[in-house]
Amino acid sequence: MYKITDYHQFDIDNAYDGDDLGVRYYDGKTVFKTWSPLATAVYLNLYLGGEGENRLETLPLERIDRGVWYVELLRRVERVYYTFTFEFDYNTRYETADIYARACGINGRRGYIADLKSLDPPGWDSVPRPVCENACDAIVYECHIRDFSSDPDSGIPDEDRGKFTAFTKKGTKYKNVSTCLDHLKELGITHVQLLPVFDYATVDESRPDKAQYNWGYDPLNYNCLEGSYSTDPFDPEARIAQFKQLVMTLHKNGIGVIMDVVYNHTYFTEESAFHKSFPYYYHRLNKDGKFSNGSGCGNETASDHIMYRRFMVNSLKFLAEEYKLDGFRFDLMALHDIETVNYIRDELDRYCPHLLMYGEGWTGGESPLSSDRLAYKWNSYQFARVGLFNDNIRDAIKGGTFNPYDIGYVSGNRNAFHTLKRGIAGSVPHRQLNDAPEACWAFEPDQAVNYCEAHDNHTLWDKLSICAKHFDRQDRVKMDKLAGALVLLSQGMPFLQLGQDFLRSKPRIPTNGEEVNEVTLVDHNSYNSPDYTNSVKWAEKAENIDVFNYYRSLIKLRKSSPLFRLRTKEEVDACLNFEDTGDGSFIVFTLEGNGDKFLIAVNPYTEERHIELREKYYIRLNEEGKMNKFPISSNAVIPPISLIVFKRING
């Protein structure tokens, strides 16, 4: 087949700017369109089922301008499955699902034609999105659909466990603590970020009885939903209706829904729908003509090629509109070029200005595209209003991610405070900070996604159980709470993982012959581990209710004052002041504005520390998350491994 040597010129000559690729209804007609400029023929195959020998008919598409192929049927085709067959060089034929398909059959092999609007739950149009004016106002909670409710203690009925529908169940409890939806409300987070819910490849949807698990970072059909999260994976409409119910329920409860999107690579390479639709166009290639692997997953997509860029933008707009999503989290976002990222931000803004957009400012390998064009964290000033996971504050708080024994600020590292202070100041320039310049990278605080636990790597509690194993449990609990407090009281957008608020662990059974120790007993990469490892154990909420209550108080505090959610670097510089304690690790800072003043003292030591207050304060949040209105105006005690928030008594 003809190989493209100059993609830029090829796009100028061939790119198509319509957003009508795929299947559309017009009056009584059904129109199919796809783009493949070098194909010598394209056929539409209609089927009765999502798999098996049940073809209804095959029709040729007609080539119209700019590489677009077209066929229309003079009827409204509904509840029918379809594929395209692309022919190249008059001899090679590939049959594949349509990359633009918006619904699909079992395991995503065939597209499915449906009226998606007809699957809206009753009341869909009357439930608005919760408004989030600025990313700093958001508190994001990362959840995997299955982990959320697969535990028998979740209180979710058997048939809904591990499914979209689990998110719609009210009033569930384990003993006396709320679980699932009620837990989300009780904790007070503003957004749920769902690990991949688009159709991914590695769980066999036709075997719901089989023990299977995956995070889902293996994309198959970007505009379709994952069938294994539906109570009926064989019904292509059920997953759509049920996901809409999930979104509507969360919206009704004031919680936004963020979708984790993985446009940076496809699970299959030569066998992917993209490659079969147009070989060597949608993926980046190395100079030797082989697929590059910037994702570490076997390939990387080419956002710098116009038709993949448009694919991404149209896909995101479709998902945002059809499912009323409130934002997107981009996996390995640095593999996308900056121009694409800005284009997406602009296009999403045009649809709704309050959608969140953030991602990982790193790659999983080396990309052939030059690093100054890619959305790396260090290029952040070129794509404002797009957040980036703050690995600086993460590692400063809990220690390096890739060495389990490495300690962080909360577990005794006395050199971590320089980087931590940058994080407290929203990773934007601050007049008092000169050290750790690499941790000062944000254009505005809304770019800093502050976290110390996510689905990748050890949970915070597991990390502490390794690197702080010489401390007793009580001290490790204090470290955990301090870590949570630092995430939630830093400037920027805080991010927590499901269960972080009650010491989530990912237990692992060491394999035969493996040494049993603190490292082998927990899982740091549980992408396909069983529920035993991944499920959130609701009994742990009951056991660690003090930790949960503390996180809940932190969230309430953060929401109580805009001083914890400053929106610009100028505001951070003006309102945030670090006090001189004569000891870098003993961090004391104030937040002052609009007549209010908070003083926050952070003691990472195992002995108590004292501060001299120069104004009259009360304790707004103590080490247990409680308030004490008793006025203090001189010596105040900061207990070991804790953070105390004082609020000035005005007048």
Catalytic residues, by residue number, are 331, 360
At 224, is the secondary structure helix, strand, or coil? strand
DSSP 30-65: EEEEEE-TT-SEEEEEEESSSSSS-EEEEEEPEE-S
**Residue 175 near residue 126, CB atoms below 8 Å:** no
Which range binds Ca ion by CB under 5 A, 209-217, 222-230, 293-301, 435-443?
222-230
Shortest distance in whole angstroms from residue 291 CB to Ca ion: 22
CB closer to Ca ion out of 230 and 457? 230
Shortest distance in whole angstroms from residue 226 CB to Ca ion: 5
Q: Strand 68-73 and strand 62-63: pairing?
A: antiparallel
Distances (CA, A) of 42 to 92, 199, 276, 305: 11, 24, 11, 22
Task: List phi, psi (to 5°) of 196.
Answer: -40, 125
Shortest distance in whole angstroms from residue 144 CB to Ca ion: 15
Euclidean distance between CA atoms 252 and 124, whole angstroms: 10
Contact mark string toward Ca ion, 326..355, x via CB under 5 A: ------------------------------
Q: Which amino acid would we find at residue 355?
A: L
Shortest distance in whole angstroms from residue 211 CB to Ca ion: 16
CB closer to Ca ion out of 199 and 304? 199
Shortest distance in whole angstroms from residue 333 CB to Ca ion: 23
**Residue 558 near residue 565, CB atoms below 8 Å:** yes
Query: Per CB under 5 A, which of residues 619..638 are in contact with Ca ion?
Result: none
CB closer to Ca ion out of 10 and 81? 81
CB closer to Ca ion out of 146 and 421? 146
Using rule CB under 5 A, residue 304 touches Ca ion: no
CB closer to Ca ion out of 153 and 199? 199
Shortest distance in whole angstroms from residue 233 CB to Ca ion: 8
**Residue 507 near residue 461, CB atoms below 8 Å:** no
What DSSP element (H or E) covers 482?
helix 473-489
CB closer to Ca ion out of 97 and 493? 97
Residue nearest to Ca ion (CB): 199
**Residue 61 near residue 42, CB atoms below 8 Å:** yes
Which range binds Ca ion by CB under 5 A, 10-18, 191-199, 249-257, 375-383?
191-199
Which range binds Ca ion by CB under 5 A, 137-145, 192-200, 326-334, 427-435?
192-200
Shortest distance in whole angstroms from residue 216 CB to Ca ion: 8
CB closer to Ca ion out of 229 and 376? 229
Which range binds Ca ion by CB under 5 A, 196-204, 338-346, 425-433, 568-576?
196-204
CA atoms within 13 A on the CB side of 226: 29
Query: Per CB under 5 A, which of residues 377..436 are in contact with Ca ion?
Result: none
Which range binds Ca ion by CB under 5 A, 117-125, 219-227, 242-250, 571-579?
219-227
**Residue 594 near residue 572, CB atoms below 8 Å:** no
Strand stretches in 493-612, DSSP E? 493-497, 576-578, 587-593, 596-603, 609-612
The residue within the footprint of Ca ion, chosen from 151, 160, 199, 360 (CB under 5 A), is 199
Euclidean distance between CA atoms 168 and 148, whole angstroms: 12
CB closer to Ca ion out of 220 and 554? 220
Euclidean distance between CA atoms 438 and 317, whole angstroms: 34
Query: Is 357 exposed, middle or buried (CB count within 10 Å of its CB: 0-12, 13-18, 19+)?
Result: buried
Shortest distance in whole angstroms from residue 42 CB to Ca ion: 25
Which range binds Ca ion by CB under 5 A, 82-90, 195-203, 307-315, 565-573?
195-203
**Residue 618 near residue 628, CB atoms below 8 Å:** yes
CB closer to Ca ion out of 226 and 462? 226
Q: Which amino acid would we find at residue 199?
A: D
Shortest distance in whole angstroms from residue 512 CB to Ca ion: 32
Euclidean distance between CA atoms 23 and 81, whole angstroms: 11
Shortest distance in whole angstroms from residue 221 CB to Ca ion: 8
Burial 405-433 (b: 16+ CB within 10 A, else e): ebbbbbbbbeebbbbbbbbbbbbbbbeeb
- Counting residues that bind Ca ion (by CB under 5 A) gives 2
Which range binds Ca ion by CB under 5 A, 218-226, 249-257, 581-589, 602-610?
218-226
Euclidean distance between CA atoms 249 and 231, whole angstroms: 17
Look at the block and give the residue holding tokens 């409409």: 237
Shortest distance in whole angstroms from residue 535 CB to Ca ion: 20
What DSSP element (H or E) covers 343?
helix 338-351
**Cα-based angle 428, 440, 434 (whole degrees, multiple of 5):** 100
**Residue 481 near residue 550, CB atoms below 8 Å:** yes
CB closer to Ca ion out of 198 and 417? 198
CB closer to Ca ion out of 233 and 426? 233
Query: Per CB under 5 A, which of residues 223..262 are in contact with Ca ion?
Result: 226
CA dihedral 214, 217, 223, 228 (to 10 degrees): 0
CB closer to Ca ion out of 266 and 497? 266
Euclidean distance between CA atoms 475 and 468, whole angstroms: 9
**Residue 550 near residue 624, CB atoms below 8 Å:** yes
Shortest distance in whole angstroms from residue 75 CB to Ca ion: 30
Look at the block and give the residue holding tokens 């709470």: 481
* Chain centre to alpha carbon of residue 531: 20
Query: Per CB under 5 A, which of residues 502..521 are in contact with Ca ion?
Result: none
Look at the block and give the residue holding tokens 């979740």: 154
Residues that bind Ca ion (CB under 5 A): 199, 226
